[in-house]
Amino acid sequence: MQQQYPVYAKPEQNTLWMGDLENWMDENFLKGAWYSLGEQVNVKIIHDKMTGQAGYCFVEFSSPMAAQNALATFNRTLIPGTNRYFKLNWATGGANGKKEEKVPEYSIFVGDLAPEVNDALLTATFQARYVSCKTGKVILNPVTGLSKGYGFVRFTDESEQQRAMTEMQGQYCGSAPIRIMPATTLKSKILASGGNISASQLNLYQPTPLYNQHNDPNNTTVFVGNLSPSTTEDELRAYFQPFGEIIYVKISTNKACGFIQYFHRHDAENAVQQMAGSIIGK
């Protein structure tokens, strides 16, 4: 059984945010999925400004109580007819309009993944043993759409993250044993699908002074410096997507730096903490 967290409705708030949408999920499909769960809703999909792909949507319910019940009941459960999980939150802040309290997250790197392992299987493998396992994300090749052979798993309990580091080392996920590393120590080569990745060590922080995190509490943008000239926006997105819903990714014309804007501030902060000094590249 998954760990449950209390949810609090903002007065008169009847809209939920829904993330991690697949590209083929349109408004009619999402309405139908909610209808099969007994909910009459309106859906508005928000498309990535850079790629045009659907990233997340807003789901409007008939009442604040209906929205609150849906969040409490269906968050992190399977979307009907798919192997994907609902990722739900309030469309704006938490109770009384205040910002949602950040829940600490602790990540691990999972390597040597078998080709058939997807997000759902990776997540299920860890959730079967750790109730605080939140999500698993397999990193895909942006050109072929195939797994690169590694991914990330996030926990809300640090002790379970630490246990998983030892208990899951060499355990099977799909048809092959997996290799576990701390997500914060990816400062050496990452092995992925039969080859070494050569790249540069990243300089990572939230931009200053215009977007200074102390001046602007709503800042959700991460600056990435010291990029390899060969790094693409799709590749940069693939590395930062495990930490949360991304609005856009942009690499500067001189190819030396980039920007990643997240939907939620705590995801941006987590990305800075987890990826600072990491190695990425082709």
4-26 average pLDDT score: 68
Count: domains in the chain: 3
Q: Which residue has the higher pLDDT, 119 or 269?
A: 119
End position of a domain, from candidates 34, 63, 97: 97
Give the range of the structural domain holding residue 168, as residue numbers without chain letter.
106-195
End position of a domain, from candidates 152, 167, 195: 195
State whether 116 and 191 are in the same domain. Answer: yes
pLDDT tens-place string over residues 27-44: 888 998 898 899 999 998
Residue 10 lies in a domain: no
pLDDT bin (cut points 50, 70, 90) of residue 187 is very low
Write down the pLDDT at residue 173. Answer: 94
Contact of 121 with 174, CB cutoff 8 Å: yes
End position of a domain, from candidates 162, 195, 228: 195
Percent of the chain past pLDDT 90, that is, above it, reads 14
**42-47 and 88-90 strand pairing:** unpaired
Is 159 a residue whose pLDDT tops 60?
A: yes
Percent of the chain past pLDDT 70, that is, above it, reads 71
State whether 21 and 79 are in the same domain. Answer: yes
Give the residues across from 195 on adjacent strands. 192
Residue 4 lies in a domain: no
pLDDT bin (cut points 50, 70, 90) of residue 51 is low
Query: Which candidate, 165, 197, 193, places its Cα nearest to that of 179?
Result: 165
162-190 average pLDDT score: 77
Residue 3 lies in a domain: no
State whether 191 and 209 are in the same domain. Answer: no
Mean pLDDT rounded to a whole number for the chain: 74
State whether 144 and 78 are in the same domain. Answer: no
State whether 191 and 204 are in the same domain. Answer: no
197-207 average pLDDT score: 39
Buried b (16+ CB within 10 A) or exposed e, 229-252: eebbbebbbbbbbbbbbbbbbebe
Residue 8 lies in a domain: no
pLDDT tens-place string over residues 209-245: 333 444 455 677 887 877 777 778 888 887 887 777 7
DSSP per-residue codes, 239-257:
HHGGGS-EEEEEE-TTSS-
Contact of 93 with 100, CB cutoff 8 Å: yes
State whether 118 and 187 are in the same domain. Answer: yes
Is 3 a residue whose pLDDT tops 50?
A: no
pLDDT bin (cut points 50, 70, 90) of residue 170 is very high
Residue 245 lies in a domain: yes
Residue 6 lies in a domain: no
State whether 85 and 120 are in the same domain. Answer: no
State whether 170 and 143 are in the same domain. Answer: yes
State whether 50 and 91 are in the same domain. Answer: yes
Residue 5 lies in a domain: no
Is 76 a residue whose pLDDT tops 60?
A: yes
State whether 148 and 179 are in the same domain. Answer: yes
State whether 85 and 140 are in the same domain. Answer: no
Write down the pLDDT at residue 107. Answer: 84
State whether 90 and 136 are in the same domain. Answer: no
The CATH number linked to 161 is 3.30.70.330
Residue 37 lies in a domain: yes
CA 11 to chain centroid, in Å, comes to: 28
